[in-house]
Amino acid sequence: MTQEHNIREMFFVEGKNISQISRETGFDRKTVRARLEKDDWNKEKPTISHGCSYPSLDPYKATIDEWLNADKMAKRKQRHTAKRIYDRLIEKYPEDFDVSYRTVAGYVAEKRKEIFGKEKCGYIPLEHIPGEAQADFGDAEFYENGKLFSGKYLNLSFPYSNKGFFQLFKGENQECLFEGLTAIFEYIGGVPQRIWFDNTRTIVTKVLKDGGRNLTDDFVRFMEHYRFESAFCNVEAGHEKGNVERKVGYHRSNMLVPVPEFHSLVIVNKNSPLSGRFFPHLKM
């Protein structure tokens, strides 16, 4: 647009002819004339191809479309990412699937716009020193013995190494927090020096004017037992612990999609978050 504006200004304001403009800008006469004669300045709408592109995906489009349409019944944060669809296609067609991830991602992006009509948001990463961790709960539905639960899962991430672990629960109370952290501590064989938290009521009873916190007695005992330091985000500023916020989404998209079904939540927590591998299509 800047080039078009300059060409038109040279012609209509400065009075230069097409030959002069062509010599000064380096554009040929035909291009200059087209810019001067242009009368439609509306922004062109992006076009979405429906079934005409990505021919290598033709044998798999029905499967991809089925998964994406099924996401309408799931919560927004528990829907398929392109990476999750790519992984599932490899699992479903181990002998035949030879399409690149880039092709899958392109088709999924177009199809998702068609189905949901929304664009993906971006996030700014945060960095922290070694020895720090961030904790947060996420929302995730799951089936246990055929019954649907709107559950929670505790995520503990380590920004320096970008490692993350999680535990799945039916609630978000203090018992779930302590049980989840204890299981992860035991698996990694250590405790972070400092852990960042939100100002949840299970931990914080009052936010003080000087920025301090009054903590629950049970949390203070837990913190003293494991000898870690707690740190807290500003009120209503959970984005300050951006690594775990992203890890919450990563765990949901890669380990809790499609909505998992299993027989025992205890077995899932024992096997899935500690090894970093969880295949929700396997009924455990």
The predicted-structure confidence for 12-52, as pLDDT tens digits, reads as follows 778 888 888 888 888 888 888 888 887 765 656 555 555 44
pLDDT (0 to 100) of residue 237 = 56
Residue 1, pLDDT score: 57
Q: Is residue 179 part of a domain?
A: yes
Identify the pLDDT of residue 40. 67
For residues 22 and 148, membership in a common domain is answered with: no
218: closest CA among 183, 179, 184?
Answer: 179
Q: What is the extent of the structural domain holding 158? A: 132-275
Annotate 116-180 with DSSP letters as a single string. H--PPP--------TTEEEEEEEEEEEEETTEEEEEEEEEEEETTTTEEEEEEES--SHHHHHHH
* 89 and 167 belong to one structural domain: no
Judged against a pLDDT cut of 80, whether residue 170 lies above it is answered with yes
| Segment 77-100, tens digit of pLDDT | 888 999 999 999 999 998 888 889
Tell me the range of 4-13, 62-71, 111-120 where mean pLDDT is highest.
Answer: 62-71
Do 137 and 253 belong to one domain?
Answer: yes
Using an 8 Å Cβ cutoff, are 157 and 164 in contact?
A: yes
Same domain, 259 and 142: yes
Q: Between these two residues, 51 and 255, which has the higher pLDDT value?
A: 255
Is 46 part of a structural domain of the chain? no
- The mean predicted confidence, pLDDT, of the chain is 82
In a domain, 230, yes or no: yes
**In a shared domain, residues 24 and 96:** no
- Taking only the tens place, the pLDDT of each residue in 97-141 is 888 998 999 999 888 888 887 555 555 555 568 889 999 999 989
Q: What is the pLDDT of residue 284?
A: 35
Residue 47's pLDDT is 55
Q: Is residue 225 part of a domain?
A: yes
How many structural domains are present in the chain?
3
Residue 77 maps to a domain: yes
